[in-house]
Amino acid sequence: MIHLYNGTVIDGTGAEPKRAGVLIEDGVIAAVGQAPPPAGARLIDCAGLAITPGFIDIHSHSDVMVLENDRAKADQGVTTEVVGNCGFSPYPCGADAAAVRRYGHAILAGGDSWGWRSAVEYLDHARRESRLCTVWSLVGHGSLRIATMGARQGAPESAEMDRMEGILEESLEAGACGFSTGLMYAPGSSAPREELVRLCRVTAKHGKVYATHMRSYMHQLLESIEEQLDLARETGCRLQISHLQAVGRANWSRQAQALERLEQARAEGIDVAFDSYPYLAGSTVLTQLLPQWTLDGGISAMLSRLADPTLRPRIAEETIAQTAQQWNDIFVSATGSAEGARWVGKNFTEIAEARGVEPVEAVFELLEEENGDVNMLSFNQCDDNLRKLLQHPLCTVISDGFYVKGRPHPRLYGTFPCLLGEMVRERGWLPLADAVYRITGKPAERFGMRGRGVLRPGAVADVVVFDPAAIRARATYESPQQKPEGIHFVFREGVQIT
C-alpha cells in the first residue's frame, strides 16, 4: 500500500484541484480523499505537489522503442501510449518483414529485425516487454498496404482490397484500438477514396478511432479537412485529426477556418476531434518534401528518378511549389551515415550555401548521399495559432515524438512538462486542471480506455506526482536529450517507475 497524502489532487476530469490524498493498493486506486493512512502503508508526503493520473500520449511513434524501455516518456509522466500513428505500425508483415521495416524505420527506429505478422503478435509482445507504459496500437494504413501489395502505388486489385479489409477486421478484433492513415506519405498517399471508405467502414463497425495524418497541412489544409469529414460522414467512423496545425506563413490565416469547420461538423453530429503538440516546429522524414509519386516503388525507385536528368527539374519544381516553409526554417535532424552528421542542426539555406547549390538541389543531394535516410525538423507555426489550438475544446495534447539517429525533436523528451510548465505556469494559456484533463481523462475518453486517465476508487493506479511551481522541460532543439524537472514520482499500475 502506498499513501500519497497532503497533496493537491487533480483528478483528470477537469474538475477543480482539491486538497486530498490517494491510496494505492494492489495496482489500483483504493481511495481518494482525506482519510488517515491504513497501518503498514508507505507514506509519501505530497505537500505542495499535484497528484494526477498518469499521462496518456495518444500520438506516439514509440511502437518499437517501447519494447526497449527507454525512459524518454516515463520521465515525463507518461504511463500509456497509443502507437501506430500516421499510417506506420510495425505489423502486419507479409512474407517480407523487411518491406515494412524499410517503410517505417525512419519513424519507428529500432534495430533491423523487428516486424510482427499480426496485431495479436505485436500486442502480446508489447504487453510482455514494455515495463514503463501500457501500449495501445492503431493499425497503420501504409503498413497494411505494404503487407498486402508491396510499395506499389495506385489502386489495389479487388483481391488485395478484400485482403486489407480482412486483416484490418482481424486486427481490430484482436485488440488494435483503431486505424491510422498517413496521406502525405507514399504509398498510402496514393490510395483511392474507395479504399479509404472501405477501411474506415470496418473501423466504424468496431466503434474504434480513425486517426489521420491528412493529405496536407499547408496550402490544401481546408480541402484536406473536408476530405476527412466526408469520409467520417459517409462511413460513420470516429475521426481524430492528427497533429492539427497550419504549416507555413502563407497558411497561418487558414487555421481559424479549419477550426470553424471542425466545430460545424461536430454540430452536424460528426464525431471529430484533434490533437496538437505544444511546439512551433514539426519533424518528419526529408522525403516528405518531395512529390510522393517519386516514391512509387520505394526509396531506390525515388533515387533513380532523381538521377534522371529529364525528371529532376520537374521534381525540383514540384518540391518548391508544395513546400510552404522557408528553406531556413527546415533543418536536418538526423542522417543515416556518420559522414552526413555534419549537416545535423543546419538549415537548407546554410547547407545550400556550403555546397554552392540551390536549396532544393541540396535536399536532393543529401537524399542521394544518405540513400534517402534523412530526417528533418521544420518551424511551421506561429505562437498565436499554437495557443488557439491548445486552448480549443476539441484538442488533446500529444507528443508525436520519435527517435532518430541524430538530434530528435525535443517533444520526445519534453512535451508534457513543457505543457504544464511553459504553457500553463509561465504563459497562462490554460488552467492547470484543464491542461491535465487534456493529457489524462480526455484522451482516455477518446479511446474508450476504461479505468485510466482518472483518479477515483477502482481506477488503475497510474499516477504522477509533480511540483506545479517547478515542472519544466529541459529538452531544447539544440540539446533535446534532457530529462525534465519537477516530476517527483510516476507510478504505473501501482509500481513506481520514476
Q: Find the shortest distance in angstroms from Cβ 88 to Zn ion.
A: 8
Residue placing its CB nearer to Zn ion in the complex, 73 or 215: 215
Tell me how many degrees the CA angle 6-8-14 measures, rounded to the nearest 5: 155
- Listed residue (193, 127, 373) closest to 116, CA to CA: 127
User: Which residue's CB is nearer to Zn ion, number 59 or number 208?
Assistant: 59
CB count within 10 Å of CB 337 equals 12
Residues touching Zn ion, count (CB under 5 A): 2
d(C-alpha 167, C-alpha 91), whole Å: 10
Stretch that binds Zn ion, among 25-33, 80-88, 129-137, 417-425 (CB under 5 A): 80-88
Could you give the CA distance from residue 292 to residue 288 in angstroms, rounded to a whole number? 7
CB of residue 283 to Zn ion, shortest distance in Å: 10
Q: Is 86 in the site for Zn ion (CB under 5 A)?
A: yes
- Chain centroid, CA 483 distance in Å: 20
Stretch that binds Zn ion, among 83-91, 138-146, 255-263, 352-360 (CB under 5 A): 83-91
Q: Candidates 78-86, 259-267, 327-335, 452-460 — which segment interacts with Zn ion by CB under 5 A? A: 78-86
Alpha helices in 296-345 (DSSP H): 299-306, 312-322
Closer residue to Zn ion in complex, CB, 11/63? 63
| Least spacing, CB of residue 371 vs Zn ion, in Å | 23
Q: How far is the CB of 116 from Zn ion (least distance, A)?
A: 21
The long-range contacts involving 357-366, CB below 8 angstroms and separated by at least 24 positions, are 358/316, 359/327, 360/316, 360/319, 360/320, 361/316, 363/286, 363/289, 363/290, 363/319, 364/306, 364/312, 364/315, 364/316, 366/286, 366/332, 366/335, 366/340
- Of the pair 213, 219, the CB lying nearest Zn ion is at 213
Q: Closest approach of Cβ 330 to Zn ion, in Å?
A: 16
CB of 245 to Zn ion, least distance (A): 11
- Cis before 92 (ω within 30): yes
Nearest to 188 by CA among 104, 284, 116: 104
Give the nearer residue to Zn ion in terms of CB position, either 82 or 460.
82
CB of 242 to Zn ion, least distance (A): 5
Report the phi/psi class of residue 356: left, alpha or beta, with left for phi > 0 and alpha for psi in -120 to 50: left
Nearer to Zn ion, 67 or 86 (CB): 86
Question: Least separation, in Å, of the C-beta of 164 and Zn ion?
Answer: 20
- Strands in 277-411 per DSSP E: 281-285, 330-335, 374-379, 395-397
Phi, psi of 257 (to 5 degrees): -65, -40
Helix or strand holding residue 196 (H, E): helix 193-205
87 or 92, CB closer to Zn ion?
87
CB of 138 to Zn ion, least distance (A): 12
CA distance linking residue 137 with residue 437, whole number of Å = 22
Cell, residue 295: 516514391
- Grid cell locating 394: 476539441
Give the interface segment with Zn ion, choosing from 4-12, 75-83, 207-215, 326-334 (CB under 5 A). Answer: 207-215
Q: How many residues does the chain have?
A: 498
Task: Fill in the DSSP letter of residue 343.
Answer: G
Instruction: Considering the complex, state which of residue 32 and residue 404 has its C-beta at the smaller distance from Zn ion.
Output: 404
Which region, judged by CB under 5 A, interacts with Zn ion, from 14-22, 206-214, 255-263, 459-467?
Answer: 206-214
Q: Shortest gap between Cβ of 493 and Zn ion (angstroms)?
A: 29
Q: Which stretch binds Zn ion (CB under 5 A): 8-16, 208-216, 339-347, 419-427?
A: 208-216
Contacting residue, 3, 73, 213, 411, with Zn ion by CB under 5 A: 213
Residue among 318, 316, 330 at smallest CA distance from 380: 330
Choose the binding region for Zn ion from 33-41, 67-75, 209-217, 380-388 (rule: CB under 5 A). 209-217
Which part of the chain contacts Zn ion (CB under 5 A), choosing from 35-43, 82-90, 104-112, 486-494? 82-90
Q: How far is the CB of 86 from Zn ion (least distance, A)?
A: 3
Of 86 and 272, the one with the shorter C-beta distance to Zn ion is 86
**Which residue, 383, 379, 377, is CA-closest to 402?**
377
Nearer CB in complex with Zn ion: 59/219: 59
Query: 243 or 472, CB closer to Zn ion?
Result: 243
Residues forming contacts to Zn ion in the complex (CB under 5 A) are 86, 213
